[in-house]
Amino acid sequence: MKLFPQQQYWWPRPRFSIFLLVLWLLLVNSISPGQILIGAVLGWLIPFSTQQFWPERPHLHNAGRLLLYLLRLLKDILESNLTVARLILRNPDSLQPAFIRFPLTLTDEFAITVLASSISLTPGTVSAGLSPDRSMLLVHVLHVTDEQELIEHIRNRYEQPLKEILE
């Protein structure tokens, strides 16, 4: 992989630019012409100047389903907080921590990133490493009784939807 890919686009990410513009207007909480101008410049400048860090274009098949995924994730985050809170208040000696290896079927880098983040935000699991060939995610679990079941759970609940949405 070359550090600086040759191809430069003048407006590499139209959708990302619009997203940044909206984000900027929400941040400053105003829609005056000056702010729209600043937002538009930032929305162009940031994708343009960072395009070399994003060698692949993301494939987003279905934005609506991604939103659904995020809502489900939010619900899981709430549950996960209760689970972890209960585990913390319990006697730490009764916990069975483990490192488990999650064999990835995702190949897209962005999809793997989203999966790893989802794992870190949900019940008692933190992703701690990715094998150099990107085939395995190392996950630390705070308390686990059935590792196989946990792997299946992650696969069905997060990886499959992400595969359909992002690859």
Say if CB 94 and CB 145 are below 8 A apart: no
Does residue 151 bind other proteins (CB under 8 A)?
no
Say if CB 127 and CB 138 are below 8 A apart: yes
Mark residues 81-120: x for contact with other proteins by CB under 8 A, - for none. Answer: x--xx-xxx--x--xxxxxxx--------------xxxxx
Q: Whose CA is closest to 54, among 122, 92, 95, 109? A: 109
CB of 163 to other proteins, least distance (A): 19
Query: Pick from 65, 140, 155, 157: which binds other proteins (CB under 8 A)?
Result: 140
CB of 16 to other proteins, least distance (A): 14
Cβ nearer to other proteins, comparing 17 with 127: 127
Cβ nearer to other proteins, comparing 10 with 89: 89
Q: Which amino acid is at 125?
A: T
Mark residues 36-75: x for contact with other proteins by CB under 8 A, - for none. Answer: ----------------------------------------
DSSP 145: S
**CB neighbour list of residue 123: distance below 8 Å, 6 or more residues apart:** 76, 79, 80, 83, 84
Say if CB 123 and CB 87 are below 8 A apart: no
Sole residue written with tokens 């105003």: 30
Sole residue written with tokens 């209760």: 82
Sole residue written with tokens 């992650």: 154
CB of 92 to other proteins, least distance (A): 5
Q: Which residues bind other proteins (CB under 8 A)?
A: 23, 26-27, 29, 77-78, 80-81, 84-85, 87-89, 92, 95-101, 116-121, 124, 126-129, 131-132, 138, 140, 142, 144, 147
